[in-house]
Structure 1
Amino acid sequence: MLINDEAKARTYLTNISYYRLSAYWYIFLELPQADHKFKEGTEFHRVVDTYVFDRKLRILLFDEIERIEISIKTRLIQEFCETKGKNWYENAALYTKPIHQQKFLECVDDETERTREVFIEHYRQKYNNGVRPPAWMVFQLVSFGQVSRLMKNLRSCPELKAVADHYGVDAQVLLSWMESLSYVRNTAAHHARLWNRRIPKAPVLPNNPQHAWLKAVPGPGEERKLYAVLAVVRYLLARFIPSTSFSAKLNKLLADHPEIPESYMGFTPNWRDEPLWEN
């Protein structure tokens, strides 16, 4: 590897660490990578640029997925509270199995006990009777992953369908998307490499989406790359933020780092021409 500025390289390694940065130079290794031999002409600044790109990408996705998380939680609260009551999450009849109800209630109890949020402290003082808080409080405490598992473990019902309808997809598609988004969100939250990571459970690609989607969908094996998740983020954001700037932000990020190979993330040829990505 060529190092043109040793002082700058030393600063990066001192503050990022050799091991953390090493995750970003595997794409620059000759095959087999186990030999740890760099391709001829590989420069250290290319590794750093990949690291910086990944960091910016994580920040962008963490911010946008937060918006989606809040929106989905809000739809769940409104749809279920209107028909099933403010503590609907305690209703055993809504779950596919008793164990699922038990685990979610344990999660609620743990989060409620652990938190020092003012609204929960006030609730305890006002209702010191062991009654669990209403759903709109509980959903402030539980994580996106916990909500994703909750929805997956609920019986099919009109309320769940209404939540999915709000985003123009089937309930099973939305559940798949939430699982993928939760994984990406957690990866970003833990500052782990994201850009060329394969998603363990790829988001289901909808057959009949109600709004602009991909004409050229990722092929076999490609759906586990990040592009499919980026498309899901864009689709969902457009349902409740019509003026979303996500496409523009993503395009700018890629333009700022032109040496990043888009194919490693699963981008299809001419993806910018897709109606889904129109600003």
Structure 2
Amino acid sequence: MPIYAKPHLSLSDQVRHLSAQGLDCDPEASSIEALHDYGYYRLTAYTYPFRRLLLPSEPKDSAYQFRADDYLPGARLSEAAELARFDHGLRDKLFDGIAALELALRFQIAHVLGKRNPFGHTDQASLDGRACAEPAPHRVRARFASMFDFWIDEYGKLIDRAGGEDFIRHVRAKYQGEVPVWIAVETFDFGGLARLYSLLERYDQNLIARRFGMSDGRQFHQWLVGLGVIRNHCAHHNRLWNRQLPHALAKIPPLTVKPDLHHLSNVAHRRKLYGWISVLAYTLRNYDNTSNWFRTIKTQLGKFPASNFVSLSVDVGFPAGWDGESLWNGAPSATRTLPTPV
């Protein structure tokens, strides 16, 4: 295996290198600015579809190489920069939407589990026995006998991480260290919320899921896991466009959701963004009938740059006519209807 020996290149040298491969880098000043703002490897990830596909007879440097080094006629670095700017806006809008879901989920878990037991998040008797007894994730199985044991350790870390907060110090000092679930959830990240949700009684899972328009609590948990991955990509400024996600969106039985989501049964690219954006829009619209997020994200998607090399359908998994679906149309209600009985 060869040792990596490519030299460091100045920004001007990077422009000359890309130009030699057939990428239009005019005007040079704008290309240098784009390379400065995004970095060579981040920006060239957006130019990758502009490169020529390797012929079957051509040699590959590795099993993961599918395109040649040279660019197709008409490929421009400025188009890649425009695509990167679109992706930046998409991450911002998605992060806002998932943040709204996270806050709603905090309340719902605290409200539903807290009614069963204020300390139900640390009491196995208040959770689903079968889920708690499941083996811990393989990477930590040697340390934890069960998912419940793994959760208790994770919960302790979340509380300790927030230990400097006055409200945690106060509750711990006054109540001998016990923290009720409606306070504890304020220390949870999205992954912690999804983990605790997975351990809830099936009745509690379904009750919470119905608040978001889904009658199957287990499938709602799958949505949370998939959206959690997207949230992390957003938080770390990773590319979302043209990304194959690790979790495929499972088929959704029509009886478990309202008709707004039925069109997902025909979506072919279930590891791409469209399906996941759709379930996020659906949950937010069902939870808060005044939510405008579905229109915000639709507006951002309308900014996808015109191109001969990339498209929403191929690269992000959007079906033809997606913007005509009922999920993306209509207007938010002027009057809020709370999803939880008062």
Q: Which TM-score applies when normalising by structure 1?
A: 0.91
Kept in 1, the 8 Å contact 2:46–2:84? The answer is: yes
Alignment of 1:80-119 (within 5 A): 80-83=113-116, 85-93=117-125, 94=127, 95=129, 96-98=131-133, 99-115=146-162, 116-119=164-167
Q: Select which of 267, 270, 273 maps to 2:321.
A: 270
Partner of 1:261: 311
Runs of 4+ in 1 over 4 A off after TM superposition: 218-221
| Deviation for aligned residue 1:254 | 2.6
Secondary structure of the 1:37 match is strand
Taking the aligned partners of 1:165 and 1:244, their CA distance within structure 2 comes to: 17
| Deviation for aligned residue 1:219 | 4.6
Partner of 1:78: 111
Partner of 1:149: 195
| Deviation for aligned residue 1:154 | 3.7
| Deviation for aligned residue 1:124 | 2.9
Taking the aligned partners of 2:159 and 2:232, their CA distance within structure 1 comes to: 21
The percent identity for this pair of structures is 27
Deviation readout 1:53-72 (Å, 9 max, x if unpaired): 11100000000011111112
Secondary structure of the 1:30 match is strand
Alignment of 1:229-244 (within 5 A): 229-244=276-291
Q: Select which of 214, 225, 232 maps to 1:186.
A: 232
Taking the aligned partners of 1:121 and 1:91, their CA distance within structure 2 comes to: 22
Partner of 2:334: none
Q: Go from structure 1 to structure 2 and tell me whether the alpha carbon gap of 1:180 and 1:225 turns closer, same or farther (over 3 Å shift).
A: same
Q: Go from structure 1 to structure 2 and tell me whether the alpha carbon gap of 1:225 and 1:218 turns closer, same or farther (over 3 Å shift).
A: farther
More displaced, 66-75 or 247-256?
Answer: 247-256
1:97 maps to amino acid: C
Kept in 1, the 8 Å contact 2:94–2:297? The answer is: no
Q: What stretches of structure 2 of length at least 5 have no aligned partner?
A: 1-22, 55-65, 134-145, 331-342
Taking the aligned partners of 1:124 and 1:91, their CA distance within structure 2 comes to: 18
Q: Which TM-score applies when normalising by structure 2?
A: 0.75
Q: What stretches of structure 1 of length at least 5 have no aligned partner?
A: none
Structure index of larger Rg:
2
Larger helix percent: 1
Kept in 2, the 8 Å contact 1:212–1:235? The answer is: no
Taking the aligned partners of 1:102 and 1:230, their CA distance within structure 2 comes to: 33
Question: RMSD of aligned C-alpha atoms?
Answer: 1.9
Kept in 1, the 8 Å contact 2:124–2:148? The answer is: yes
Taking the aligned partners of 1:51 and 1:126, their CA distance within structure 2 comes to: 51
Taking the aligned partners of 2:148 and 2:245, their CA distance within structure 1 comes to: 28
Matched, 1:212 2:263: no
Deviation readout 1:164-212 (Å, 9 max, x if unpaired): 1212211122111101110100110010011221221123332114423
